[in-house]
Amino acid sequence: MSINTQAKSNSQQQNTYLENRGRLLVKCPDKPGIVSVLSTFLHTHNSNIIESNQYSSNPENGTFFIRIAYHCDTLLETASKMEKDFEQIAAAHNMEYSFNYLHERTRSAIFVSKEPHCLMELLWEWQNGDLDTDIVVVISNHEDARPFVEALGIPYYYIPANKEIRKQVEAEQIRLMEQYNVDLLILARYMQILTSEFVGHFENRIINIHHSFLPAFIGAGPYERAYERGVKLIGATSHYVTNNLDEGPIIEQDVERVDHRDDVVELKKIGRTIERRVLAKAVKWHLENRIIVEGNKTIVFH
């Protein structure tokens, strides 16, 4: 078999794999039999469960959460009927749910300011095929990142931003999000505060990286304040953006140990490494439908 023929065969196999795989996320009041109801439903629709993760906040009158990955040989043809049939089950058990399909790739936009390390990490993961999304546009209030973004064939928009022109800036950003049909916004150290009107357009679809271990050092200058406080651990937090600054549902956090020898410059250097890995993990888990938002918390099925 020639190399081209083998590559074509591998591509066809991958497409078939994606077309036949789905994920079902459910949140509902906990009670006996929920897992049985869901597994029976999938079995009835000729679907094989290949991964299942569940959690109950309290087995007595708590909330039940589950993520099920499944395979169905005829998923493309039967997905609509499955969703329609599921409506009755969802109503009977007061379920909030979503069906997600692997062949429907998420379209992502990245917002960045001057520091490129988080952007570069995401682009690297994307180039490696480890970030299952299409990065369709990058938007920045600085020109610094343009060369290496455009070198990858990704459109780059420079939109100056400050609090005096925030509304018109966000109007242009929303227009671009609609133009590129964006599903997910990633703030890769985008150092501008978003208005409630903007956030309202993308509920639970904006992921931010904050350069501290929240709730410590909310707001600007966390490394400077950490140094002044003499902390022994610094960290980073990735969270969904809400109208409360740096207080949205937390997706992932990590820390590194530091000591009295580390000045602000060294803290920032260590912090950049943490920020990169924390944001990349959070974005991956969102793309893999591993997150269910509950109030101001998240259930993350690793």
Residues labelled as active-site residues: 246
| β pairing state of 184-187 and 206-210 | parallel
Cβ neighbours of 269 (radius 10 Å): 13
Q: Read out DSSP for 160-195?
A: ---GGGHHHHHHHHHHHHHHTT-SEEEESS--SPPP
**In the 3-class helix/strand/coil scheme, how is 72-127 assigned residue by residue?**
CCCHHHHHHHHHHHHHHHHHHCCCEEEEEECCCCEEEEEEECCCCHHHHHHHHHHH
Residue 74 identity (one-letter amino acid):
T
Rounded CA separation 185/203 (Å) = 10
Contact 87, 159 (CB under 8 A): no
Rounded CA separation 135/145 (Å) = 15
Contact 236, 275 (CB under 8 A): yes
